[in-house]
Amino acid sequence: MEDKLLRAQAALEKHGIKTQVVDTPEEAKALILERVQPGQRVGVGGSLTIDQLGVVPELEARGCEILWHWRARSPEEMLSLRRAQLTADVFLASSNAVTEDGRLVNIDGVGNRVGAMVFGPPKVILVCGQNKVVPDLAAALDRVHNVAAPLNGRRLNTGTPCAVVGRCTDCNSPGRMCSVTVIIERRPQKTDLEVILVRQELGY
């Protein structure tokens, strides 16, 4: 696993994406707190990883405005927060998969998360556990469809077939989470994109 992490780090950096490998979630949280300035507007993508870090309360204590649609009290507020994330100062999220050859692979149902990753917020920080590092693009897509999506479907009670059977059926369900696929192969030209790889399992 250590070799996989270091290969991914080297490949991402070759592609212009700043990457650090840390031992613990606490170290990842500390790096985020170093990067985010007091009072900034911080968007949070639909990310169990970011939630697990426990960084949001500390950002709020510094006076940051948190734009996190998981906190919405209505569908209208959820949509508003998702749109506001695109104009945040900093966007925090994870990636569904990181390939050893330096690609970040993400699949969304709505598209707000992948949209904010590539353009809008000037600073984007993606935190990824070692469980998300895979050899190549084929393995990344397989991981998203047959690991991440079924687990997230169960967690969110989407009612999608994958949540029931535990694997992708390429459904047309109204709750389908796999509608938009984005592969970041190089740093987006106008975005300061940074990846933090953690030597522990985080998220799905």
Query: Has residue 51 been placed in a domain?
Result: yes
Share of the chain above pLDDT 90, in %: 94
- The answer on pLDDT for 171 being more than 90 is yes
Question: Parallel, antiparallel, or unpaired: how do β-strands 90-93 and 97-99 relate?
Answer: unpaired
Type of residue at 190: K
Report the number of distinct structural domains present in the chain. Answer: 1
Asked whether 59 and 13 are in contact (CB, 8 A), the reply is: no
Torsion sign over Cα 90, 96, 100, 102: negative
> Is the pTM above the cut of 0.75?
yes
Distance (Å, whole) CA 86 – CA 77:
15
Q: What is the pLDDT of residue 156?
A: 86
Residues 6 or more apart whose Cβ sits within 8 Å of residue 121:
43, 85, 86, 87, 88, 89, 90, 91, 191
Query: Has residue 203 been placed in a domain?
Result: no
181-191 residue pLDDT tens: 999 999 999 99
Distance (Å, whole) CA 27 – CA 42:
19
12-42 residue pLDDT tens: 999 999 999 999 999 999 999 999 999 999 9
- The answer on pLDDT for 2 being more than 90 is yes
Query: Has residue 74 been placed in a domain?
Result: yes
Type of residue at 78: M
Confidence of residue 127 (pLDDT cuts 50, 70, 90): very high
How remote is the C-alpha of 43 from its chain's centroid? Answer: 11
Query: Has residue 146 been placed in a domain?
Result: no
Which domain does 56 fall in, by range?
2-102+111-135+182-198
Is 178 exposed, middle or buried (CB count within 10 Å of its CB: 0-12, 13-18, 19+)? Answer: buried
Query: Has residue 177 been placed in a domain?
Result: no
CATH number, domain of 17, equals: 3.40.50.10420
Q: What is the pLDDT of residue 188?
A: 97
